[in-house]
Amino acid sequence: MTSTRQLNALKALSKIEGFKNDLNMLGKTLDGLSLWHPAVPHIKQCHSAIEMIDAIAERFERKLVVTIVGPSGAGKSTLLNALSGVDSLSPAGRRRPTTQQVVAFSSSEQDAEQLIQLLGPGSVAVKSSPGSALLEHVMLVDTPDTDSTAYETHGALVREAIGQSDILVCVFDSENPKRKDHVDFLVPYIQKFNGESLIVVLNKCDRQDELELKHHILPDFTAYLQDGWQTSADRILCISARSHLQKPDWDDAAGPKHDFDQYEELQQLIFGNMNSAGYVVDRRLDNAETIRDFVFQEVSRELARNRRSLADASEQFREAEKTSYREAVAAMKKDDSHQLLGINLMVYQKLAQRWIGPIGWMTAIWTRLLLFGAGLAALFRFGRPVSQIIGLVAAWRHYKNSKSAMSDPGTDERVSAGLRTYRLATMSNWPNIAESMIGGGFDSSVRGVRSVAPDENAFHDKFAGLWSASLESEMERSARRLSGLLLQILFNAPALAILGYTGWITVQQFMMGSYLAFDFFIHALWTIGIVLLLSFFLFQVCVRLAASPESVTRRAFEKMKQKADELEGTTANPVREQLDAALELDRMLSGLAAPLNRRDPS
């Protein structure tokens, strides 16, 4: 039958996988920031955190490991002996170090099997007593001193034991609680324990004056820990471990000074609250979450330190892009004279598609004449044959150069001129951007010219596309304005009126059996032609005023300037991509700041 602990463990494993996935995603993001120096140590930190969470997951079906740590003479072994009910369970005395091994207090040696495999059989002593039977879900572990003369030998044992722990009981001597070496030793471990998994014990409190202990020593010590650990312990208990041995062996003149002692609260925590299957899983799950949160906080703090420089670099990037873009557009305006004929042709093409009636027919004919007229005229001019042929080809070339702005904008000479200017302008702004990035933690190699080069193909296509879209939009707008219904009626009316009148007279006379003279039709035709030409001339004047190639081009450039924001991000190069990724990571972690800091009051 499946135990309650196993069922709880199964439920928690899915959350464990979620924590690991978060760390994996963070590691992948940091892996993409190869030019950002702080990324490398934090990638290693992600891997280490995943290994620690894996170790926690492997212990889900094992007892909760409560580890006692402290400096020499703090009373760790005495505390374990008091909790076990056996005065000699863990060596205690004045000889230092008193504890040579890691002592595991449990009812079965199997409970310490994982610890034995990790530290070696000779480094772990498993001990039990009648009281150990009460610890159904908990195993107590006593560790060597964190500051003894044998620390070089025992240090690895202490670190590994802490790494396998679910609850950390940090013991300090009330007679000398501010042991900086002990506080500093615990700093990297404290931050990986959930608040409820961290208990601070101030031992030998019976040796202090009660009022001084409560009003001076304890508050001062609490502030000292807060400053040293940059976090607060949920519980700081004042105890006298020796008072709870079977035989305290007090000196006749050195008994307890008072009876203020929170030992029973500590005992209740270990033998009561912690000693349940649900608590075991919750603590391990909370510790795994704390490890995940710790890594996120470390990366967030690093990004926060560099945030201003990175934000400045990003802003400089955007401003440089806009400035370079405007200069590129200005360069294009200087290179547009040879394409005016082609733009004029395309405007008339669009008008011919929209207009109906006589003016529509004339517009279509005029478009063809514009296309072939320059070349045909060259053929009939006197001169060298080669020059005449070149004249015909020139008409096609001008048209094709302009037509390329829509069908193949990448071949437009203006686009090439704009791109050259853009690259030069961007290079001139790069030194300031690079210095801001370096100030934000990026490698000094970003100063190189290669770092400024955008993705040529992507930028070229986008830039050319913007010009094509702007020019196409402006020509379409001009053609639409000049093709309104009222305008079409106004300009078509004279020719249609004469044509209608002539037709009416012709039909009327025909129905009456009277045939009109040939001269009548000749005169009518000339009249219609003259009126139509005059109407078309006036129409051309309107086109010239409202949609001349110069005005269409000018408005297209203005519209292109307004589209500078659409170009943002198109110039992305590896450096820009990493800068954006770092800022996006900073925004994401800043958004998680509140839940991540729920265990970090600092």
Q: What is the CATH number of the domain that holds 196?
A: 3.40.50.300
How much is the pLDDT for 334? Answer: 63
HEC profile for 457-476?
HHHHHHHHHHHHHHHHHHHH
Q: Would the pTM of this model clear 0.85, i.e. be above it?
A: no
Quote the pLDDT of residue 88.
84
Residue type at 61? E
The total number of structural domains in the chain stands at 2
The token pair that represents 29 in the structure block:
């993001």
Tell me which residue of 565, 543, 571, 556 sits closest to 333, measured CA to CA: 556
Look at residue 545 and tell me if it is in a domain.
no
| pLDDT at residue 129 is higher than 70 | yes
Cα–Cα distance, 296 to 590 (Å, whole number): 10
| 355-380 tens-digit pLDDT | 999 999 999 988 887 766 544 444 44
Q: Please give the share of the chain, as a percent, with pLDDT higher than 70.
A: 79
Mean pLDDT confidence for 122-134? 86
**CB-based contacts of 41: which residues, under 8 Å, 6+ apart?**
none
**pLDDT tens digits, one per residue of 250-288:** 776 667 888 899 999 999 999 998 888 788 888 888 888
Kindly state whether residues 241 and 352 are assigned to the same domain. no
Helix (H, G, I), strand (E, B) or coil at 483: coil
Q: What is the pLDDT of residue 442?
A: 92
What DSSP state is assigned to residue 434?
Answer: H
Examine the domain organization and report whether 349 and 265 are in the same domain. Answer: no
**Using one digit for the tens of pLDDT, what is the confidence trace for 184-206?**
888 888 877 766 788 999 999 98
Mean pLDDT of the chain: 80
Which residues have a Cβ under 8 Å from the Cβ of 238 and sit 6 or more positions away? 174, 202, 205, 213, 218, 260, 261, 262
343 and 217 assigned to the same domain: no
Same domain as 228, residue 113? yes
**Angle 82-87-92 (CA atoms, 0-180°, nearest 5)?**
95
Are 198 and 90 part of one and the same domain? yes
* One domain, residues 264 and 340: no
User: Cis before residue 144, ω within 30 degrees of 0?
Assistant: no
pLDDT of 294 > 50? The answer is: yes
pLDDT, tens only, 419-440: 677 677 777 778 888 889 999 9
Q: Per-residue pLDDT for 389 more than 50? A: no
Same domain, 358 and 447: yes
Highest averaged pLDDT of the listed ranges 56-70, 291-305, 309-323, 400-414: 291-305
Most confident of 19-28, 53-62, 66-75, 393-402: 19-28
> Residue 237 pLDDT more than 90?
yes
Q: Report d(CA 90, CA 129) in Å as an integer.
A: 12
Based on the fold, state whether residues 417 and 562 are members of the same structural domain.
yes
Q: Which residue has the higher pLDDT, 535 or 574?
A: 535
Q: Is residue 540 part of a domain?
A: no
Phi and psi of 124, rounded to 5°?
-125, 130
Confidence of residue 530 (pLDDT cuts 50, 70, 90): very high
Task: Write the CA distances from 525 to 193, 496, 506, 508, 531, integer angstroms.
Answer: 101, 12, 13, 18, 10
The pLDDT of 168-182, averaged and rounded, is 87
Per-residue confidence (pLDDT) for residue 446, from 0 to 100 = 85
Q: What's the CA gap between 357 and 369, in Å, rounded?
A: 19
Please give the pLDDT value at position 361: 92
Tokens of 140: 């107590």
* Amino acid sitting at position 545: L
Same domain, 254 and 372: no
What pLDDT is attached to residue 175? 87
Domain boundary among 229, 248, 274: 274
Q: Are residues 141 and 253 in the same domain?
A: yes
The domain boundary residue, chosen from 234, 259, 274: 274
Of 274, 295, 312, the one marking the end of a domain is: 274
Query: 447 phi and psi, to 5 degrees?
Result: -70, -20
> What is the domain extent for residue 423?
335-484+558-571
| Residues 372 and 461 occupy one common structural domain | yes
Kindly state whether residue 355 falls inside one of the protein's structural domains.
yes
Residue 587 lies in a domain: no
Task: Give pLDDT, residue 285.
Answer: 86
Q: What is the pLDDT of residue 585?
A: 93
Burial class (CB in 10 A: 0-12, 13-18, 19+), 465: middle
